[in-house]
Amino acid sequence: MTPFRRGLLLAAAAAPALVRPAMAQGTWPSQPVRIIVPFGPGSGTDVTIRLLVPKMTEFLGQPLVIENRPGAGSTIGTDMVAKAPPDGSVFVHATLSSTGIAAALYRRLPYDPLRDLAPVAATVFVPLVLAVTTRGWDITNPGQLIATLRGAPDRYQYGSNGIGATGHLASANFVTRIGAKAVHVPYRSGAETITALVAGQIQFMHDITGLLLPHHQAGTARCLFVTSEQRSPVMPDVPTMKEAGVPDYPAYSWFGLFGPAGTPRPIQNRMSAAVQHALADPAVSERLAALGTPSMPGYGPDRFAAYVRAETELWGPLVRASGAEAD
């Protein structure tokens, strides 16, 4: 059972309980609230939170101001919030790579994800898709890709939106599982990485289906398989890794909202309720599904905190086994 499926078992029962008490919490916010996105514009974290913000603003009655603070595999923006005053003025739309992966990847991480961040609410689960360039490369199926990479160690390159990002580790794990070697090229955002793929500057990458779908449809990139257990509804012609005969490897992420540790619980509850309000909107849910990032309703502060702890324990050994290091 996938982490997403495990997490959704109690979602329907949990969601109403999250919203009702939050409606009665004080007067927060009384001024605009910042949400830090620790990746560049056009990244999955950026696109998804921008879909939620209008409904969250409607619920809270104050503007939510998004700031992109990319760099160092999302740790710069996340660290900024980890060290901010816990007064409800700033949150971060962080990811698996900012938390559970970063804890194992960085020897000198400037924050402790479990100690310095307050989980507020999960937003979306993120299965990935592997795509190859069509610029100067005629790879049409996973078998060809595997044979090509095995036959030319370190000749070909894969990209991601930063060292330690889930796209980086997904590709690193893929290369390791097939017994090949390839060179990692980090970029500042998913949009930059996809641009490099289309231009043929890198040969393959992992990212969310919604961002790669237009290029797959246009023929400027080719999606070979999705890492979910079922085919993506937005990319039904692309097989799963199991259908494609690819060795199984972990390749997913999730996004969620965190505040600085010590953020008052009434503020956490109200911000979480704003997230639930947005995820419950049919139009928002439909847009998220079209991106290939299904929503994760029902994850309030306690449940999301338990989920983050479990993911940190799961991914630590996987990161160390991959050999990836950021410093």
More confident residue, 22 or 112: 112
Above 80 in pLDDT, residue 327?
A: no
Q: What is the pLDDT of residue 24?
A: 37
Q: What is the pLDDT of residue 88?
A: 97
Mean pLDDT of 212-236: 94
Is residue 118 within 8 Å of residue 261, measured between CB atoms?
A: yes
> Which among 72, 80, 121, 116 is positioned nearest to 97, based on CA atoms?
72
Distance (Å, rounded) from C-alpha 286 to C-alpha 292? 10
Q: How much is the pTM?
A: 0.81
DSSP 24: T
Name the residue with tokens 């309980």.
Answer: 17
Q: Give pLDDT, residue 26.
A: 55
pLDDT at 116 over 60: yes
Read off the pLDDT of each residue in 303-326 and give the average, rounded to a whole number.
Answer: 87
The structural domains of the chain, ordered by start, are 3-126+253-322 (3.40.190.150), 129-226 (3.40.190.10)
What 3-state class would DSSP assign to 182? coil
pLDDT at 228 over 50: yes
How far is residue 151's CA from residue 144's CA, in Å, rounded to a whole number? 11
Answer for the pair 227, 167: CB distance below 8 angstroms, yes or no: no
d(CA 81, CA 93): 10
> pLDDT, tens digit, for every residue of 81-94?
999 999 999 999 99
What is the average pLDDT across 261-271?
A: 98
What is the β-pairing status of strands 90-95 and 252-260? Answer: antiparallel
pLDDT band at 23 (very low <50, low <70, confident <90, very high): very low
